[in-house]
Amino acid sequence: MNQQPSSGRLKDKDGGLLKRSLTSLFSLMGLQLGSRLLTFVLNQALFRLASPQAFGTAAIQFELILSTILFLSREGVRNALLRAWPRNTTIHTQGSTSSGDHVAALTNLSALPIILGLPVSLATAVAYATLASVDVCRQPYFHVALSIYVFAALSELFSEPMHNRAMGEVRTGARVRAEGLGITCKTLVTYLVLLYDSNRPDSGEFALVAFALGQFAYSSMVFFSYVYQMGYPTFWPTRLPTRQSSKAAASRSTIYRIASQYFDVSSLHLSLTMTGQSIVKHILTEGDKIMLSWWSALEDQGGYAIAVNYGSLVARIVFQPLEEICRVYFSRILCPPVEAKSTSTGAQFDRRSLRQASEILLSLVSIQLACSVLVIVFATVYLPIFLHLLLPSQYLSTSAPKVLAAWIWYIPVLAINGVLEAFFSSIATSQDLRRQSKWLVGFSVVFIISAIGFYASGFGDVSLVYANIINLAVRIIYAAQYASSFFNRNNTAHRWNASTPTWQFLLAAVLSYLAISMTKIHHQAVILLQTKGRGAILSTIVMSHLALGAGMGLCCLATWWLTSGRYLVRRAPVKTD
């Protein structure tokens, strides 16, 4: 029997932090929803204008290069800054006080991704150009497109000081506008270049260049939008006047003394530790692209890419913004004040903050588990119908349908892992990060062994999705155990069984699945779409089948609200004074 959450209300300790976090979450979700809808519409044309080889190269290999440069250059710094940025402090309030000096040190740290990005970009580009297959390198303007992608990554890193300031000050509106314009420009530029290329005698010659120019348009628009809203930032660290003659630093090494003149040393050490850890985490995150780039033919990479493009829509619209806002929220509410970090007693957490963080984490996991049940139940039934709407006819015979079917099971673990690891990265010490890095090496071995095993069993490209599910499952266990031990150490009740779905909701979901999948209209709708294609979407049989699913879905939502949802709302700390 599930324990119903407490109905007590907690006061938000940071003057409306929860309210601002929720506003930021909905803004980011709105950005993702709007941009993805626009991208979805234009992608229907892109899939038909670009060949599977070009699309596979751009969506798998070039995106891997881009994410490698950005992830290794900025991820550790971003997470460290979220934890170190003072509460209720903006760039404009800094002065000669220790708080202002601290903000100046963090502003210097925001420029570190630009410095790291130069060697990372060069090393990544040279390594990829050397290891790329002959078929990839023979594509028209391959090296030109690669160079543009690398330059686009560097251009995006120049936006980091402004991005980190916006996130530190919880100014989500600036980010929403910048990234919204960037995604719109990226899609339009790519589409227009591909459209121009399709009307030339040598159609397809500029396909890779089209995707590269689209990415460069994105990074440029994000940069100039940030500059317009926030002004030009500092692109290079400046010396901190109050730290030039630090007696504490005088007895340290030369490197320490130099670093202390420009950065907050504890934040710098944490960011470098997280950057080192991000190497292993990046391999795990992008393991499917790495293996595809190495083993699969370009045509198969194109089919996998289009399936993942659709499968990840939910993750990008909902889960990615939620994960980012969780990092901001937990970093703020569970981060001691700046002056408390240097005391010998270590981090001291307010009991109210601990209780609030525990309840928010349990509520998020509870909601995600309920959503996961709905995704599995309804997506498995209706995927055969939406395949004809999403995929061009030439992709229906590829591995794309099987990959999309596997993504239905991947989405739940992706969601839960994102929130739990966001909590971990918000409170973990350097020692915790080093310990996790060792475990991540083991998780990467699990991923590789699982992928090879599934491939050997004849699962094809779907093997990568199933291997990722196993990989994320063990990471969820690790992060959940860490969260439990953290709250136990701080004498705060934290029971995971309070977040599990109720038996009434699970029963409603199972009955809905049976009611939909075992009816004659379901089989008639599937056969009709297989024979007549997307032209049958608006037929009476298919629309009746969709209406049945919508009705059963509303019944499941009502059951969840009556048995769990309303208690979660009562438990949430809503006071903002």
For residue 389, the tally of other CB atoms under 10 A from its CB is 11
Give the residue among 325, 368, 363 at the shortest CA–CA distance from 30.
325
d(CA 265, CA 271): 10
For residue 373, the tally of other CB atoms under 10 A from its CB is 20
Two tokens at 419? 């929130």
* pLDDT at residue 30 in the model: 65
| 3-class secondary structure per residue, 479-503 | HHHHHHHHHHHCCCCCCHHHHCCCH
Place of tokens 């969840």: 560
Compute CA distances 429 → 82, 361, 421, 485, whole Å.
Answer: 14, 19, 14, 14
Question: What's the pTM?
Answer: 0.70
Q: What angle do CA 229, 333, 436 make, to 5 degrees?
A: 100
d(CA 139, CA 141): 6
d(CA 348, CA 341): 9
* pLDDT at residue 245 in the model: 47
d(CA 114, CA 157): 6
Two tokens at 542? 């298919």
* pLDDT at residue 144 in the model: 94
DSSP 441-492: HHHHHHHHHHHHHHHHTT-TTHHHHHHHHHHHHHHHHHHHHHHHHHHHHTT-
> Assign residue 46 a region: left if phi > 0, alpha if psi is -120 to 50, beta otherwise?
alpha
pLDDT by 10-residue block (mean), the chain, 577 residues:
43 53 62 64 72 82 92 86 63 47 76 90 92 86 94 94 82 81 88 87 84 95 92 79 52 64 76 78 77 74 79 72 78 61 52 86 89 91 82 74 89 89 85 83 85 85 89 92 90 85 93 90 83 78 89 93 78 45
Two tokens at 487? 């709250």
- Round the CA-based radius of gyration of the chain to a whole number and report it: 25
Burial 253-274 (b: 16+ CB within 10 A, else e): eeebbebbbbbbbebbebbbbb
d(CA 215, CA 59): 11
Is 241 within 8 Å of 97 (Cβ atoms)?
no
DSSP 75-113: HHHHHHHHHHSPTT--GGG-SSSHHHHHHHHHHHHHTHH
Please name the amino acid found at residue 74: R
Is 193 within 8 Å of 214 (Cβ atoms)?
yes
d(CA 301, CA 326): 33
* CA 531, 532, 534, 537 torsion-angle sign: negative
DSSP SS3 for 312: coil
* pLDDT at residue 99 in the model: 54
d(CA 379, CA 374): 8
Is 97 within 8 Å of 240 (Cβ atoms)?
no
* pLDDT at residue 227 in the model: 92
d(CA 450, CA 456): 10
Please name the amino acid found at residue 127: A
* pLDDT at residue 506 in the model: 94
Find residue 564's DSSP bridge partners: none
Measure CA of the first residue to CA of the last residue in the chain; give whole Å: 36
Is 109 within 8 Å of 271 (Cβ atoms)?
yes
Find residue 575's DSSP bridge partners: 11
